[in-house]
Amino acid sequence: MINKMQWYLLKLFFHLEPSAPDVPLTDPFFCLWGLVNNASIGVPAAPNEWLTKDDFSKILNVNLLGLIEVTLSFLPLIRKARGRVVNVSSPTGRLSVFGGGYCISKYGVEAFSDCLRRELCPFGVRVAIMVPGSFKTSICPDNIEDIFKGIWSRVSPEVKKSYGDKYFKGYCQYFNKLTSQGQKNLTPATNCMEHALTAVYPRIRYSAGWDAASFILLSYLPASVADFILSLSSNAVRPADAV
């Protein structure tokens, strides 16, 4: 009988790295109580017309396909323990606010988690979705403006003419403002994770921060109303060829 718990920190990009700890998956007495999927990247992000399929794939491989791969790999151990799976989503998994693969990946995390929760319920496994608000993390690199310039440099002349340089500069300012906001104290988020892993009756969904809760409420409004509200805080510069 196992009389103690151990924590395993798994470094992953798309596949588990060879340097990851030696988790005894073949030990018949080994089981896994909890899995927290928190790996995520935020860029490349830009208006969808500026991006390529590879830009979308880069984010989806980490945020969605990587999460699915890790979860499926450990499900037999979690089912044996009647344990917990905690998937970190985002407010943008309910309401998309910018182009690129990030919002798409978080919609996918929501769908995968909902399906997984219903499938594993008969086995006594609990699946929770944790939606963090705006926190200061390393999800977007410091050289975000250089990344935008690289994306803009490869956009076709016709698309550049339609949007214009003023729109590009305005979008950079909008995204910088979007990513620079947030609280440094991560305790609200980690408290949600801890409760989802250890509580006798964990919730199905956790919202960490007032902005996460407000986005969920906003997602229930008619699409036209939500579009108008989001437009008030988006790029103030209109495209050059806007009608």
CATH homologous superfamily for the domain 34-140+184-224: NAD(P)-binding Rossmann-like Domain (3.40.50.720)
Q: What is the pLDDT of residue 26?
A: 58
CB contact burial 216-240 (16+ within 10 A = b; e otherwise): beeeeeeeeeeeeeeeeeebebebe
- Residue 71's nearest CA partner among 39, 104, 105 is 39
Q: Which residue has the tokens 């609990």?
A: 126
pLDDT at 24: 57
The two tokens of residue 138 are: 């390393």
- Residue 177: its pLDDT value, please? 80
> In which element (H, E) is residue 207 found?
strand 205-208
Residue pLDDT, tens place only, 191-242: 999 999 999 999 999 999 888 888 888 889 999 999 999 888 887 789 999 9
pLDDT of res. 29: 59
Positions of the chain with pLDDT lower than 70, given as ranges:
1-29
C-beta neighbour count of 163 within 10 angstroms: 22
Domain boundaries, the chain: 34-140+184-224
Active site residues: 102
| pTM for this entry | 0.84
